Amino acid sequence: MGSYAELQVTTNFTFMRGGSHPEELVECAAGLGYNKIAITDCNSVAGVVRAHKAAKDYEGIAVIPACRLELMDGPPLLAYPTDITAWGRLCALLTRGNLRTEKGKCELYKQDVFEHREHIKFIAVPPEKLNARFDFDDDFKAALKEYKTVFGSDLYLAATRFYNGDDEKRFYRLSKSGVPMVATMMCTIMNPPGGNCRMCRPACVRNAP
């Protein structure tokens, strides 16, 4: 695998989306030869500590502490603190969102992120599908332009394959945005050899009509 680092890994601390424990994901990544993985649970850093502890049992792999920020008024952002002060700032941001709503939920807005952005790198997550014109909708373009203005060189775009027939068109549109792209796989599961896909049940429930 060489020096690949997966920047978007979701654990089972993200309810109805992640299917594997942090320890299992670290074990799988180490077996595949990854040298780093970023734990990006949704509006939570709950899986980071367990993943970091598990990584100590394997040579050559490290955990990048991170988070996926699901916003009420903008596209999702993956957030990567670059130092301990920025980590504290990210935790304060999540606390603000948690205090706004009931237990188990987090209500965050773009302005909250803008106020806590110092020394944090961000990856904007584009929509999975294009519109009828094989383009992104104007609201995403407008939000991305705003992100670029605020975050500057600290902003990147997630380039993820969904194998739905639109990947090359999506990548072309992303390449015209003026924001650098980074490859992610949006990993949510480590399937044990010979085992059944443990994401099937939560994915079906989440996507049920």
pLDDT digits (tens, 9 = 90+) for 38-48: 999 999 999 99
Amino acid of residue 58: Y
Query: What is the average pLDDT value for the chain, to the nearest integer?
Result: 89
Amino acid in the structure at residue 3: S
Q: How confident is the model at residue 157 (pLDDT cuts 50, 70, 90)?
A: very high
Number of separate domains in the chain: 1
Three-state SS at 21:
coil
Of residues 72 and 201, more confidence is placed in: 72
* Strand, helix or coil for residue 168: helix
Report the percentage of the chain scoring pLDDT > 70: 89
**pLDDT at residue 15, rounded to an integer:** 80
pLDDT at residue 184 in the model:
92
The two structure tokens encoding residue 1:
């695998």
At residue 67, does pLDDT exceed 90? yes
User: HSE (CB half, 13 Å, CA atoms) of 136?
Assistant: 22
Selection from 188, 193, 183 nearest residue 1 by Cα = 183
Which H or E run includes 77?
A: strand 77-81
Query: What is the domain extent for residue 12?
Result: 5-206
Residue 164: predicted pLDDT: 87
Question: For residues 34 and 189, which has the higher predicted lDDT (pLDDT)?
Answer: 34
Please report which confidence band the pLDDT of residue 177 belongs to, taking 50, 70 and 90 as the band edges. very high
Band the pLDDT of 188: cuts 50, 70, 90.
low
Task: Give the span between the Cα atoms of 28 and 14, in whole angstroms.
Answer: 18
Average pLDDT over residues 102-130: 96
Query: The domain that contains 185 carries what CATH number?
Result: 3.20.20.140
Backbone angles phi, psi at 103, to 5 degrees: -60, 135
98-112 residues labelled b (16+ CB within 10 A) or e (exposed):
beeeeeeebbbebeb
Query: In the structure, what pLDDT confidence band is assigned to residue 18 with cuts at 50, 70 and 90?
Result: confident
Residue 61 pLDDT: 94
Q: How confident is the model at residue 131 (pLDDT cuts 50, 70, 90)?
A: very high
Q: Would the pLDDT of 205 be above 90?
A: no
Confidence of residue 1 (pLDDT cuts 50, 70, 90): low
